[in-house]
Amino acid sequence: MFKKKPLLSLLLAVVLAAAFTFPAGVPVHASRTAILGDANLSYGLDAADARLALRAAVGLEEMTDDLRLLCDADLDGTVTAADARLILRVAVGLDTLNGGTVTISDGYQPPTEADVSTTRPPVTDPVTDPVTGVQPNPEIPPIVGGQGVTPSFTPVSGTFTVITVGNGHGVGMTQHGAAYLAKQGWDYRQILAYYYQGSVLVSAPLASDVCYYLGNWYNVEDLLIRMVYAEIGGFWDTTEAFKAQCVAIYTLMMRYGFYITDGNAVAGLSYRASEYENNPYLHEAVSAVLGQYIAEAGDYTYSPALTVYSSMSGGCTISAAEAWGGGGFPHTGVYSLFDGDPSVQVSWEQYVRVLTFTVEEVRQDILEKDWSTVLSDNPADWVQILAHNASYNNQIGYVQAIRLGNKVYEGIYRCNFLGLRCPCYTIFYTP
């Protein structure tokens, strides 16, 4: 007789228990705790988790039980774009999740985010000579300028009042203006000729079937539909404006060689498939102008021009030189006070705004431009607009020169401050 060692006995008991408890070949997975919203199991929430949740919501990721548990941030039992938005808000500190943790399988592996669109789609035979013709500039109906109305307001004592007009840099085509002109019966060729004066419209076959955009490859026509919707899709049936926007975006695609790594270089991208897929006007417009692009008049190589655009002007558009200095196309600005037509833009009021800033807010913003700026004890002496182009009316325009304290700034974009959406504004202090 001999005594079994206690450790050996224990080990033998565990092995026998496991053998008789589970059939051979059946894996055993334990569970573990994970953070709600942490879809990629990085032990924290970030934009990558929000992206995975969005991909799962629209069917681009297999919706396993574990992925659903992790992405269901609002705990309603389903994964939707609202969950992705909530995860992103939590990631950047704008919200909190009360769900805490969830229990998932120990064998769960987060999606790799592999996407078929990361592989370049098949390409047709290359086009050897894409330019087949240049359309002559159409006749443009005359547009009469006018005076913008300054909104009424009651100034607050001891504060700065700012009246600001427009949204965006104001160079090239404005989307609200394009929609307005389409409503007036203009076709897309007229809209483009008006905003990009000194240009020609080039008719050509599609220069590329595919375009690389921020990590993925897309079919060009599909990408244009999504981009046009993202930029101007709020105007449901303005087909000619859709066409103009499509030509402007496609021109920039060509200019970047159909390889775009900067999301601000060309256009945004809509993920709201149910909206852009169900707009027949949008599909019709993109299909009708596919392959057409803008070149500068006199450029016999027909190189794609810099067809920048913005949301809404401050009474007129401005040239690239006025906005950013130096040369650059577009070379001129055009009157576009009609951007605010209420039949086109229902929320025009948000772009002609009266804002109130405290003395401390203005002080901090001035010093952020240059910490060596000297400010007197009297706020009324801090800000003086020296020159503006009167684009909206005699009191309000794109500010071309301004004095802030003892510093003078020149040039429209150097003169912008206080985080205004457009450099078309006026400002004054009320004692």
Question: Which domains are present in the chain?
Answer: 31-111 (1.10.1330.10), 170-310 (no CATH)
On the question of pLDDT at 275 being above 70, the answer is no
Q: Give the per-residue pLDDT at 396.
A: 92
Q: What one-character-per-residue DSSP string does 359-412 give?
A: HHHHHHHHHHH-TT----S-GGGTEEEEEE--SSSSS-EEEEEEEETTEEEEST
> Exposure of 119 by Cβ count < 10 A (0-12 exposed, 13-18 middle, 19+ buried)?
exposed
The residue-averaged pLDDT of 199-225 equals 90
On the question of pLDDT at 225 being above 60, the answer is yes
Tens of pLDDT, residues 121-145: 666 554 445 566 788 889 888 877 6
pLDDT range class, residue 190, cuts 50, 70, 90:
very high
Range of 86-90, 225-229, 289-293 with top mean pLDDT: 289-293
In 354-421, alpha helices (H): 359-369
On the question of pLDDT at 5 being above 90, the answer is no
Q: Give the per-residue pLDDT at 99.
A: 64
Least confident of 109-113, 209-213, 313-317, 377-381: 109-113
The residue-averaged pLDDT of 18-37 equals 55
Q: DSSP letter at 149? A: P
Tens of pLDDT, residues 65-108: 899 999 999 888 889 877 887 887 787 666 787 667 888 887 78
Least confident of 141-145, 306-310, 422-426: 141-145
Q: Return the higher-pLDDT residue of 276 and 239.
A: 239
List C-alpha distances in Å: 422 to 37, 167, 323, 356, 417: 37, 5, 11, 16, 10
Structure token pair of residue 290: 């596919």
By percentage, how much of the chain surpasses pLDDT 90? 39
Comparing CA positions, the residue from 40, 151, 29, 123 lying closest to residue 87 is: 40
pLDDT range class, residue 245, cuts 50, 70, 90:
very high
Structure token pair of residue 328: 């650059």
